[in-house]
């Protein structure tokens, strides 16, 4: 044959994307003649050895597939594709293809595959003898890529975190599906790509009112730009700083414990938006010219491990998230918060599967933060043993064992002196510096009956499941004990609650009220008289009692001179012994006391202004004394060592003394007060009407502000009760109002109303049958009319309707009266022009008639709006003052008329309002 003796090794074949020409020396070689017809998709290489084939992601990325077939020579896949240029059908080497308009396409009845290398029949069943595409059955794991090979074989290209023939073996096994955070847990990931814009979508639940959700910053110390998403005091806050100052967007509602919430936070340049549970957009904008967010540090989710307080100031809390995150998207891409599954996740710490823990029951009270304690939080491992030395009549082998958890376990033993012969009552403590939770164990001996000698005891205990981090004013295991007795507002009717230095509290009642909690009203309209001093007068009261170790005194006074004695109580009438004194010296207050070993001299830093009523507080606990003028700086000082008890026997003098020789020379007092004393409170006692009830000498009756006799601010026979520079009016029967200007009211016929106002405290309410107590369809009109006095800005006044679908609500919101009408197709809210939470009775009219909704306060012009809906369906119930599941009003209500029917408020078991109650 011609050309059969050409030397193959000296020939270099040109690699085309089509089969070699018929004149190719290789095509007519002997080896070629003996071999099968070559697959048109393959071509021969000039190399004598078989070329190794590598299948990897890089080849796949560039669209190159590699395979091998047992042929006479090593072959490589050609890149002939459907769509290649052609001049006739011969140029199209792919089976069942033809040249159409200069390009290779599948013949009629055939369709091209996704890789454009084959044409398959649309409907013809593949014969058993033909090669099948193995990847059609999806044999590889869903996260991997399947590559078809000849002879119906395949190969799986695995995701980086998977291995195995089918890529179904996880390299880093998932430890959790829904990540849980315990307050210290965190996930560290790459910085956010947020220079111009970013978005965060997250679904989470929490067991605490404070917790860090996400934080990313520019600098490690918290300075510069940052972005954060956190729970702060129960609200979700989205914060960011572009260099113009922080923008803080807060959710309109508090989070609900143990329930999942859906949050979306977005930013574009200077504008930010927070969406809470698919509610309305909470929008904000950064002030200034900067509009880009520079972030260089890693992002933290769940907590931020740092010692820089500035970081926590940026976020608004230093508490880590206590809860679970079941979904997170950043810039619309889902984030898998698991190491090894997402290239952006760099580290996880203490993250576990979301499950119920000890904090799930919300055991911590009073706003405390619950910290669950898991097994890894407790030190595990060795035991600390205490061998008892051999003593007479004691078993040599006796040993006490205290189980202490910790690798470096140490035990401190402190035996009770009363039980030197036994270690049963010893207190043993397991100490390990590396362990955060170690506890004092009270040793309790038990015996093992299976042991022959019964010669050892074992201390056992149950490790705690949670720890409550209490606010400063609470203590206890669950923070149930209050350190502030005034926190629950035990004092009533506007009284002031003060904490006593020796513990407990005292209610300082306003004029006209008495009792431990100021609950008793003085019904007599007695005039309140204030003693006036001219420098040589005084009031004499009984000697102070119960002040030996501690006391608290409050005095309201007015002075017209820069010097004068306000208060003095001594031990002896010769000017010696213990004493306490309160003086004016050159316009400043001085509080002095002597316990027998050196006086304390405490001077207020603030000057006393003349002709103005002031409040001064002095207190003492042991050797320490405190002095405060009005709400100014608290000054403190100490008496000399070592005595710490005060002994008094002489009368208490106000404004001056009977004989100046009775005053201790170190008291610093030399002249009496020129002014008046309005009120005196000592510990839990209030001295009422000083000018009438106590011995006086050379004093007069004060006449001036705030209750001048010639211009009594209280009308209709009301009595003015001074309250520092303000006053309260004690009204006569049938009158009310801030100045007793309102008669108890009139009904629609003009008759006098005998009903007394009833008191609502925010939790109580009244329920009536509305319109004969049956379900009513299609009401075209409703009308509320009442008189209300309150100082609280929010609360429900009245409700009728049928659940959330249809209702009419009269309420207070931020001090304004709001009428809300909701039907199936419409919802409107109408608000008054002015606030009414001023402590004065206001006449409120709110009505709905067909399409018109009206609200009117006192004599103001009505406010009107129209709606499309005219009908309201009710369930026959009317709620006044509140409703189950809703916050009610706090105040006094009278003359309540609903749809021309007066409600019998006073016939119900409810407390009445007294004068000046709000």
Which pLDDT band holds residue 78 (cuts at 50, 70, 90)?
Answer: low
User: How many residues belong to the chain?
Assistant: 918
With left for phi above 0 and alpha for psi between -120 and 50, is residue 545 left, alpha or beta?
A: beta
Q: What pLDDT sits at residue 187? A: 96
Residue 840 scores a pLDDT above 70: yes
Q: In angstroms, rounded to a whole number, what is the distance separating the alpha carbons of residues 601 and 713? A: 41
Q: What pLDDT sits at residue 438? A: 42
Residue 588 scores a pLDDT above 90: yes
Q: In angstroms, rounded to a whole number, what is the distance separating the alpha carbons of residues 341 and 486? A: 53
On average, the pLDDT of the chain sits at 78
The residue that leads in pLDDT, 596 or 29, is 596
Instruction: Determine the 3-state secondary structure of 667 from DSSP.
Output: helix
The residue that leads in pLDDT, 635 or 750, is 635
Q: What is the mean pLDDT of the segment spanning 763-779? A: 64
Q: What pLDDT sits at residue 365? A: 85
Q: What is the pLDDT of residues 105-134, one digit of tens each?
A: 998 888 887 778 888 877 544 444 445 788
Per DSSP, the chain holds a count of helices (H) and strands (E) of: 4, 73
With left for phi above 0 and alpha for psi between -120 and 50, is residue 350 left, alpha or beta?
A: left
Q: What is the pLDDT of residues 364-377, one digit of tens each?
A: 888 788 888 766 55
Which pLDDT band holds residue 176 (cuts at 50, 70, 90)?
Answer: confident
Q: Which residues contact 162 (CB under 8 A, 6 or more apart)?
A: 141, 143, 144, 168, 169, 170, 171
Q: What structural domains and CATH numbers belong to the chain?
A: 26-163 (no CATH), 179-355 (2.60.120.200), 507-517+523-701 (2.60.120.200), 742-907 (2.60.120.200)
Residue 599 scores a pLDDT above 80: yes
Which pLDDT band holds residue 54 (cuts at 50, 70, 90)?
Answer: very low
Least-confidence region, from 183-192, 341-350, 647-656: 341-350
Residues 99-113 as b or e (16 or more Cβ within 10 Å = b): beeeebbbeeebebe
Among 745, 770, 761, smallest CA distance to 894 is for: 745
Share of the chain above pLDDT 90, in %: 37
The residue that leads in pLDDT, 41 or 725, is 725
Among 322, 378, 381, smallest CA distance to 352 is for: 322
Which pLDDT band holds residue 258 (cuts at 50, 70, 90)?
Answer: confident
Is the Cα dihedral 190, 195, 196, 200 positive or negative?
positive
Residue 83 scores a pLDDT above 70: yes
The residue that leads in pLDDT, 827 or 47, is 827
Residue 52 scores a pLDDT above 60: no
End-to-end CA distance of the chain, in Å? 121
The residue that leads in pLDDT, 129 or 452, is 129
Among 639, 648, 598, 643, smallest CA distance to 620 is for: 639
Q: Tokens for 441, please give them.
A: 């164990």
The residue that leads in pLDDT, 663 or 390, is 663
Cα→Cα distances 452→355, 385, 398, 456, Å: 45, 20, 12, 11
Q: What pLDDT sits at residue 567? A: 96
Instruction: Provide the Cα torsion 629, 630, 636, 642; round to 10°.
Output: 80
Beta bridge partner(s), residue 742: 736
Locate tokens 């520092």: which residue?
724
With left for phi above 0 and alpha for psi between -120 and 50, is residue 468 left, alpha or beta?
A: beta
Q: What pLDDT sits at residue 523? A: 63
Q: What is the mean pLDDT of the segment spanning 47-51? A: 40
Q: In angstroms, rounded to a whole number, what is the distance separating the alpha carbons of residues 320 and 328? A: 17
Whole-structure pTM value: 0.42
Residue 715 scores a pLDDT above 80: yes
Contact 423, 459 (CB under 8 A): no
β-strand pairing of 685-687 with 652-654? unpaired
Q: Tokens for 605, please give them.
A: 């830093």
Q: In angstroms, rounded to a whole number, what is the distance separating the alpha carbons of residues 903 and 832? A: 24
Q: What is the mean pLDDT of the segment spanning 479-485? A: 82
Least-confidence region, from 30-34, 463-467, 759-763: 30-34
Q: What pLDDT sits at residue 869? A: 64
Which pLDDT band holds residue 17 (cuts at 50, 70, 90)?
Answer: very low
Least-confidence region, from 307-321, 392-406, 580-594: 392-406
Q: In angstroms, rounded to a whole number, what is the distance separating the alpha carbons of residues 437 and 363? A: 19
Q: How is the beta sheet containing 827-835 ordered, strand by strand?
A: 766-769, 877-880, 795-802, 806-813, 816-822, 827-835
Q: What is the pLDDT of residues 528-567, one digit of tens each?
A: 889 999 999 999 999 999 899 999 999 999 999 999 999 9
Residues 382-395 as b or e (16 or more Cβ within 10 Å = b): eebeeeeeeeeeee
Reduced 3-state DSSP string for 631-662: CCCEEEEECCCCCCCCCCCCCEEECCCCCHHH
Q: Tokens for 289, please give them.
A: 């010219």
Reduced 3-state DSSP string for 587-623: CEEEEEEECCCCEEEEEEEEECCCCCCEEEEEEEECC
Residue 43 scores a pLDDT above 50: no
Q: In angstroms, rounded to a whole number, what is the distance separating the alpha carbons of residues 139 and 399? A: 64
Residue 342 scores a pLDDT above 90: no
The reply to whether omega before 502 is within 30° of 0 (cis) is no
Q: What is the pLDDT of residues 804-813, one digit of tens each?
A: 778 889 999 9
**Across 102-106, 239-243, 431-435, which has the greatest mean pLDDT?**
239-243
Q: Tokens for 502, please give them.
A: 């020796």
């Amino acid at each position: 044959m011609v050309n059969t003796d050409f030397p193959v090794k000296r020939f270099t074949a040109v690699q085309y994307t089509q089969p070699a020409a018929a004149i190719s020396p290789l095509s007519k070689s002997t080896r070629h003649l003996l071999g099968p017809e070559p697959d048109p998709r393959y071509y021969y290489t000039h190399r004598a050895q078989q070329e190794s084939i590598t299948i990897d992601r890089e080849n796949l990325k560039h669209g190159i597939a590699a395979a091998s077939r047992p042929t006479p020579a090593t072959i490589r896949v050609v890149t002939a594709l459907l769509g290649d240029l052609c001049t006739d059908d011969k140029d199209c080497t792919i089976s069942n293809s033809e040249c159409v308009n200069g390009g290779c396409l599948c013949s009629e009845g055939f369709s091209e595959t996704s890789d454009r290398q084959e044409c398959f029949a649309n409907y013809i069943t593949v014969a058993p003898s033909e090669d099948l595409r193995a990847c059609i059955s999806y044999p590889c794991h869903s996260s991997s890529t399947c590559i078809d090979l000849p002879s119906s074989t395949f190969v799986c290209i695995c995701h980086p975190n998977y291995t195995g023939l089918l890529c179904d073996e996880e390299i880093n096994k998932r430890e959790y599906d829904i990540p849980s955070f315990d307050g210290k847990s965190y996930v560290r990931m790459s910085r956010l790509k947020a220079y111009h814009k970013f978005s965060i979508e997250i679904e989470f639940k929490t067991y605490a009112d404070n917790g860090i959700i996400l934080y990313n910053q520019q600098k490690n110390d918290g300075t510069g730009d940052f972005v954060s998403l956190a729970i702060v005091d129960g609200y979700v806050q989205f914060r960011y700083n572009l260099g113009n100052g922080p923008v803080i967007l807060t959710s309109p509602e508090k989070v609900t414990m143990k329930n999942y919430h859906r949050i979306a936070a977005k930013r574009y340049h200077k504008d930010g938006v927070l969406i809470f549970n698919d509610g309305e957009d909470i929008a904000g904008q950064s002030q200034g010219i900067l509009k880009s967010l520079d972030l260089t540090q890693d992002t933290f989710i769940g907590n931020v491990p740092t010692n820089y307080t500035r970081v926590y100031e940026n976020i608004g809390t230093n508490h880590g998230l206590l809860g679970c995150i079941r979904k997170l998207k950043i810039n619309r891409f889902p984030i898998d918060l698991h190491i090894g599954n997402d290239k952006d996740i760099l580290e996880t710490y203490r993250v576990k599967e979301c499950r119920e823990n000890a904090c799930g029951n919300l055991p911590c009270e009073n706003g405390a933060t619950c910290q669950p304690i898991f097994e890894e939080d407790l030190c595990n491992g060795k035991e600390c043993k205490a061998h008892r030395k051999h003593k007479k009549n004691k078993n040599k082998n006796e040993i006490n064992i205290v189980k202490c958890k910790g690798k470096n376990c140490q035990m401190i033993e402190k035996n009770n002196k009363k039980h030197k012969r036994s270690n049963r009552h010893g207190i043993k403590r397991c100490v390990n510096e590396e362990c955060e939770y170690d506890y004092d164990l009270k040793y309790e001996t038990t015996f093992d009956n299976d042991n022959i000698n019964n010669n050892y005891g074992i201390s056992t205990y149950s490790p705690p499941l949670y720890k409550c981090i209490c606010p400063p004013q609470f203590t206890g295991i669950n923070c149930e004990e209050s350190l502030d007795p005034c926190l629950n507002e035990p004092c009533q009717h506007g009284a002031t609650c003060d904490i006593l230095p020796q513990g407990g509290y005292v209610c300082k009642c306003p004029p006209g009220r008495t009792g431990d909690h100021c609950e008793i009203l003085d019904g007599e309209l007695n005039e309140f008289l204030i003693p006036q001093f001219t420098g040589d007068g005084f009031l004499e009261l009984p000697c102070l009692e119960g002040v030996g170790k501690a006391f608290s005194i409050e005095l309201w006074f007015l002075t017209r001179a820069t010097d004068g004695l306000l208060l003095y109580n001594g031990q002896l009438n010769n000017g010696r012994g213990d004493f306490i004194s309160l003086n004016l010296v050159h316009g400043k207050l001085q509080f002095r006391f002597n316990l027998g070993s050196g006086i304390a001299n405490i001077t207020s830093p603030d000057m006393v202004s003349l002709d103005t009523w002031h409040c001064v507080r002095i207190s003492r606990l042991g050797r320490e004394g405190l002095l405060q003028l009005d709400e100014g700086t608290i000054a403190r000082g100490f008496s000399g060592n070592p005595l710490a008890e005060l002994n008094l026997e002489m009368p208490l003098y106000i404004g001056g003394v009977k004989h100046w020789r009775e005053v201790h020379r170190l008291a610093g007092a030399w002249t009496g007060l020129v002014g008046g004393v309005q009120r005196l409170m000592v510990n839990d006692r209030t001295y009422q009407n000083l000018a009438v009830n106590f011995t006086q000498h050379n004093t007069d009756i004060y006449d001036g502000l705030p209750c001048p006799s010639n211009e009594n601010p209280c009308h209709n026979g009301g009595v003015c009760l001074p309250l520092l520079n303000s006053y309260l009016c004690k009204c006569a029967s049938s009158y009310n109002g801030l100045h007793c200007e309102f008669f108890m009211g009139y009904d629609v016929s003009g008759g006098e109303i005998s009903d007394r106002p009833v008191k609502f405290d925010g939790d109580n309410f009244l329920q009536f049958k509305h319109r004969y107590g049956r379900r009513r369809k299609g009401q075209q009109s409703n009308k509320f009319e009442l008189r209300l006095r309150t100082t609280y800005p929010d609360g429900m006044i009245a409700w009728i309707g049928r659940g959330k679908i249809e209702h009419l609500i009269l309420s207070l919101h931020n001090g304004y009266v709001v009428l809300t009408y909701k039907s199936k197709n419409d919802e409107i809210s109408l608000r008054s022009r002015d606030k009414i939470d001023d402590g004065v009775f206001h006449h409120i009219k709110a009505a709905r008639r067909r399409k018109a909704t009206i609200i009117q306060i006192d004599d103001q012009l009505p406010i009107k709006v129209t709606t499309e809906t005219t009908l309201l369906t009710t369930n026959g119930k009317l709620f006044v003052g509140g409703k189950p599941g809703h916050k009610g009003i706090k105040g006094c209500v009278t003359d309540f008329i609903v749809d021309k029917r007066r409600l019998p408020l006073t016939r119900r078991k409810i407390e009445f309002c007294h004068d000046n109650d709000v």
